[in-house]
Amino acid sequence: MILPNVRASFGREEAATVVALLGAGEAGRGQDAWRAVLADRGFDALLDDPALPGRMMEGPPVRDLPLGLVIYVLLRHALLESGVESRLIADYVSALVLEFGFRGRTYRISEHDDREYHYLVDILADMAGARGRRAFLLEAHLGNFALWLSGLFPDRISSQLRRRGGPDLSYYEEMGQVGYRMAADDPVARQERLDALYRDAAEGFAQVRRGLNRFSDRYMFPQRGPSIDRLLRQVSDRFDESGGERSG
């Protein structure tokens, strides 16, 4: 089970890192000033500062910074640009990216489960006969896997749609919403106090997906450049964000 626990893992090392990044090279506002902000307004005020992602990417090598801090900050600001203000959602998505990025966890409902799911329809098929905790894990994984694929690999989805007639982004959004809604209504979610989180993730799935798209375009695959698929996706998303309806 993926938990929103990245933010809670931050300690003195992460605070010192952020203070150093924000205070580097500033005329009249160095590290002492940022330490004062930290003491007065808390760590979130520093983490949410608009200058931090740029300082993080332009400062010391990213590989030398705490990985959880890097992922959280870059995702948090990409999500903010997409209108997702919830720190809890940012925390959860950061945990998802960190966990799915290692040891083939992407395709399993839990770290120690032997069954792998490479397609959303396979998760749906198993959900039909699952009970108890396994049913809950499948529901959450449907939401997580749909978000992972549509958020971080939208160009791949567009390419498959063009070459083989695969599903478009709206399919992944619908499946992700179904998974998170079912997980939110599951008794296990209430026991784990995750029901409100899943409900928010379902309601805001499209915005969260767009935030992950921004993260992916900027930091994971920036070398690809503005492909026609990416440009069309961005135009479509801007239209949706402005309150219009997607055609087709």
Q: What is the pLDDT of residues 198-227, one digit of tens each?
A: 999 999 999 999 999 999 999 988 865 555
Same-domain status, 86 and 125: no
Q: How far is CA 145 from CA 40, 119, 163, 201, in A?
A: 39, 9, 22, 13
180, 129: one domain: yes
Determine the structural domain holding residue 181 and report its residue range: 108-213
Whether 5 and 53 share a structural domain? yes
User: Do 74 and 26 fall into the same domain?
Assistant: yes
Torsion of CA 139, 111, 12, 60, to 10 degrees: -100
Is the same domain home to 59 and 145?
Answer: no
- Same domain assignment for residues 57 and 75: yes
Position 76, amino acid:
R
Is residue 240 very low, low, confident or very high in pLDDT (cuts 50, 70, 90)? low
Q: pLDDT tens for residues 124-177?
A: 999 999 999 999 999 999 999 999 999 999 888 877 777 777 788 899 999 999
83 closest CA partner among 208, 199, 205, 202: 208
Give yes or no: residues 115 and 190 share one domain. Answer: yes
pLDDT tens figures, 72-105: 999 999 999 999 999 999 999 999 999 998 767 8
The predicted pLDDT at position 246 comes to 43
CA pair distance 217, 239, nearest whole angstrom: 18
Residues 186 and 135 in one domain: yes
Cβ–Cβ < 8 Å for 204, 198 = no
pLDDT at 166: 78
pTM for the structure as a whole: 0.89
Which tokens is 23 given?
Answer: 């205070």
Tokens of 117: 């799911």
CA distance 183 to 139: 5
Residues 11 and 86 in one domain: yes
pLDDT computed for residue 226 by the predictor:
54
